[in-house]
């Protein structure tokens, strides 16, 4: 179901195909347009189709990149040419890949690049519902044959030993990956159900029962008395998947609801680990990384816990102000007298935001000659 209904590759490919259908017409018209020489009509229809695809790909890239920063400011910076070079590079790469995947390669991505079909193959079992061709009904004893005199009605075909499949080939024509579902389940199938719709329309037109191609399981299709297709969820495998999915979703929701509005990370400078000053004071240096994940500009106060407050030296920085969705890197020095340094193994950095949120803490090591 993921491949056929939710996968971004399928959704964007369908959107681009709809654009082609809107500008270039139905399949026969598109085939005719493809073979005719270039003229104003072909330039407008083909060029317009690809221009719209590129614009959608560009906006897709901008939207994706905006997930990783403060969206209003990022969009404003992009269109005012003030965004970072990395932002424009990411947008360019995503625009090109989206256009090529959805507008050019399409089903080739599913068949040759995407590993999901291989993963799904591991989870398939005889009771798994999948797009299936009812070979027993479609082939009969003598195989499929086109409607002709004496083989037009459903009853006539059954009496003659032929199946309901009239070999029209529509199921193959509508398949995004170009497979023939009548040859059995194949890894290229994305379970989109287009062959089901096409076959049902043909069955309606010739007056045969629907469901020659349908969602069904291997075990039901091969049973002596097939039942109506249904999901068999009362199995250890399905319940195991359900439990695992529930646990992962619970963990995801918990992490989202408890996400901190601020992030603090501290890394000790290791070259050198410590410096002994002329008066015997021991100095350690640290790189402090602060992230403001809120939608407002905030001020931050940096302090230490476990050592004297005056041991912290931020240099010339008097105030720490971070814009919404931005980060800041600081260089800090910790100077401790030799007697205190000998007793100190760890301490904590505390960063307190001005909006009243709880301070963020990071435990770090302190190195000296006595403890080295």
Q: What is the pLDDT of residue 107?
A: 87
Query: pLDDT value at position 69?
Result: 86
pLDDT of residue 249 exceeding 80: yes
Q: Which domain holds residue 208?
A: 121-221
**Residue where a domain stops, chosen among 221, 247, 282:** 221
pLDDT of residue 371: 56
Residue range 131-190, pLDDT digits in tens: 999 999 999 888 888 888 888 888 888 888 898 999 999 999 999 888 999 999 888 899
For residue 145, the model assigns a pLDDT of: 87
Q: Does the structure show a pLDDT above 80 at 48?
A: yes
Peptide bond into 272 cis (omega under 30): yes
Q: Which of 232-246, 270-284, 335-349 has the lowest mean pLDDT?
A: 232-246
Average pLDDT rounded to a whole number, residues 203-231: 89
Q: Are residues 10 and 106 located together in one domain of the fold?
A: yes
What angle is formed at CA 92 by the lines to CA 89 and CA 94, rounded to 5 degrees? 105
Q: Tell me: do 45 and 139 sit in the same domain.
A: no
* Confidence bin at 213 (pLDDT 50/70/90): very high
Helix (H) or strand (E) holding 123: helix 116-123
Question: Are 97 and 142 members of one domain?
Answer: no
Reported pTM: 0.63
Which of the two residues, 108 and 371, has the higher pLDDT score?
108
Residues in contact with 353: Cβ distance below 8 Å, sequence separation at least 6, in sequence order: 261, 262, 292, 294, 298, 299, 300, 359
Q: What is the pLDDT of residue 117?
A: 75
Instruction: Write down the pLDDT at residue 231.
Output: 73
Q: Are residues 270 and 358 in the same domain?
A: yes
Domain count for the chain:
3
Query: According to the model, what pLDDT value does residue 370 have?
Result: 64
Which region, left, alpha or beta, applies to residue 16 given φ > 0 means left and ψ of -120 to 50 means alpha?
A: alpha
Per-residue confidence (pLDDT) for residue 121, from 0 to 100: 76
Domain identity same for 87 and 154: no
| 5-35: pLDDT as tens digits | 889 999 999 999 999 999 999 888 988 998 9
């Amino acid at each position: 179901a993921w491949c056929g209904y939710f996968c971004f590759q399928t959704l964007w490919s369908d959107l681009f195909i709809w654009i082609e259908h809107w500008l270039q017409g139905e399949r026969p018209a598109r085939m005719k347009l493809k073979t005719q020489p270039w003229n104003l009509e072909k330039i407008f229809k083909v060029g317009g189709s690809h221009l719209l695809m590129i614009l959608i790909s560009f906006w897709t890239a901008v939207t994706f990149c905006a997930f990783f920063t403060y969206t209003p400011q990022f969009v404003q910076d992009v269109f005012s040419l003030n965004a970072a070079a990395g932002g424009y590079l990411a947008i360019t790469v995503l625009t090109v890949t989206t256009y090529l995947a959805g507008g050019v390669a399409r089903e080739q991505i599913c068949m040759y690049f995407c590993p999901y079909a291989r993963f799904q193959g591991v989870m398939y079992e005889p009771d798994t519902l999948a797009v299936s061709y009812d070979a027993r009904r479609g082939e009969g004893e003598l195989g499929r044959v086109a409607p002709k005199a004496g083989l037009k009605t459903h009853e006539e075909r059954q009496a003659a030993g032929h199946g309901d499949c009239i070999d029209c080939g529509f199921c193959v024509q509508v398949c995004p990956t170009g497979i023939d579902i009548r040859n059995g389940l194949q890894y290229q199938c994305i379970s989109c159900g287009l062959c089901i719709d096409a076959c049902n329309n043909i069955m309606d037109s010739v007056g045969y029962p629907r469901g020659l191609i349908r969602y069904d399981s291997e075990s039901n299709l091969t049973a002596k008395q097939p039942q109506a297709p249904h999901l068999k969820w009362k199995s250890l495998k399905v319940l195991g998947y359900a439990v695992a999915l529930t646990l992962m979703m619970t963990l995801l929701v918990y992490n989202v609801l408890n996400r901190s509005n601020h992030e603090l990370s501290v890394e000790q400078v290791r070259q050198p680990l410590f410096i002994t000053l002329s008066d015997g004071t021991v100095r350690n240096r640290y790189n402090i990384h602060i992230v403001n994940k809120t939608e407002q500009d905030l001020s931050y106060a940096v302090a230490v816990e476990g050592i004297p407050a005056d041991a912290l030296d931020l240099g010339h920085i008097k105030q720490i102000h971070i814009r919404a969705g931005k980060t800041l890197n600081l260089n800090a020095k910790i100077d401790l007298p030799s007697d205190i340094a000998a007793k100190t193994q760890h301490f904590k950095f505390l960063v307190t935001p001005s909006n009243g949120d709880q301070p963020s803490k990071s435990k770090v090591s302190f190195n000296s000659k006595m403890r080295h």
